[in-house]
Amino acid sequence: MKDLTKIISNNSPNLGFQSDIENQSFKKLLILGYAKNIFTKKVFECDAYIFGSSIKTEVEFCSGVQITKSDNLSTLDKTDFIFIDNPSDVNFNIYRYKNPIGIKIKEKLSLLRMNAIEAINFDFIIYDRPISHNFNDILDIKELLSNIDTNCFINIHKSNINLDYLELIFDIDFSGIVVDLDTLNKKDFSNLKKNINNLKEAKEKKDE
């Protein structure tokens, strides 16, 4: 098994407006790649993968699945982690699953719902709402992160694979991004990796 928590352990969100410069220099945006079907080999070099179909045998890279209504602890035996897109799809005792668990956030949550998610102690969340430079969007995210102490990824569309958008994500202190690999070609993914690698330079220049 590959431990997703170790992969993201150095990318915990900073909840304050200011962050430690020395530690910040070691941070990077992680990439979680989603694909409907399981790869026979790594076509795109991601930090971990979320698949839309069951994993029947162990693979050499960190991989998890998006829960479906037909899943149970037995069907998830070969997964390194699981991801909940729709809570209604979970029809087994999730507390008995021993590996990391994540959940998608699709709407602005009430404080009670944030407290409930925090109490379950998810290993990561995926923020699936659009963001902009408008400060209200940033405050909404910071409110979420201040109430749910875990690693937060953001789902991004192919059209947002640009340095400006990724820099905003990086500066807000997301742990990483989720991209739909089924919608990308090799050139798109190469540009994504290039922009992520350039984020350190943009941050370092800002901190000088």
Q: How far apart are CA 69 and CA 53, in angstroms?
A: 12
DSSP, res 12 = P
Q: What is the pLDDT of residue 208?
A: 53
Q: pLDDT per position in the chain (208 positions), as tens?
A: 588 988 888 555 444 444 444 444 456 899 999 999 877 556 789 999 999 988 888 788 899 999 999 999 999 999 999 999 999 999 999 999 999 999 999 999 999 999 999 999 999 999 999 899 999 999 999 999 999 999 999 999 999 999 999 999 999 989 999 999 999 999 999 999 999 999 864 445 555 5
Q: How far apart are CA 48 and CA 29, in angstroms?
A: 12
Are 146 and 3 in contact by the 8 Å Cβ rule? The answer is: no
Q: What three-state secondary structure class fits 49?
A: strand
Residue type, 91: N
Q: What three-state secondary structure class fits 96?
A: helix
The CATH number of 4-198 is 3.20.20.70
